[in-house]
Amino acid sequence: MKGVILLGHGSRDPLWRLPIEAVARRIEGRAPALLVRCAYLDLDSPDLAAAAADLVAAGARSVTVVPMFLGTGRHVRDDLPALTDGVRASHPGVDIELRPPVGEDSRVLDLLAALASE
């Protein structure tokens, strides 16, 4: 069974979560066999470790971490690899893949350009 974690920065404002949670619902609608969780680096919960533990408890044997960031800043460059290594150490029988930030995907960049130029 496969799982995906949509990882955002986090905020004290609960409305900030809505777009990431909307992406999770869209994934669930398109790929119902895929387990989806949201996680946050700061100021919100669950964190990456808790979301991964939840997916593993639900039966995931591979987990893809998708940073919902526009680019590679300090969190993505420094914090996220260390956090992901910690998840790997906690779940040695589970394949944990860390993807690049979504904002570095040319499809996202094309969509942002199209939206900005309307």
43-99 residue pLDDT tens = 889 999 999 999 999 999 999 999 999 877 787 888 899 999 999 999 999 999 999
pTM: 0.93
Q: Check which CATH number belongs to the domain holding 33 and give it.
A: 3.40.50.1400
Burial of 36 (0-12, 13-18, 19+ CB in 10 A): buried
Domain membership of residue 24 as a residue range = 2-116
The whole-number average pLDDT for the span 27-37 is 96
Query: What's the residue count for the chain?
Result: 118
pLDDT of 107 > 80? The answer is yes
Task: Please count the structural domains in the chain.
Answer: 1
SS3 73: coil
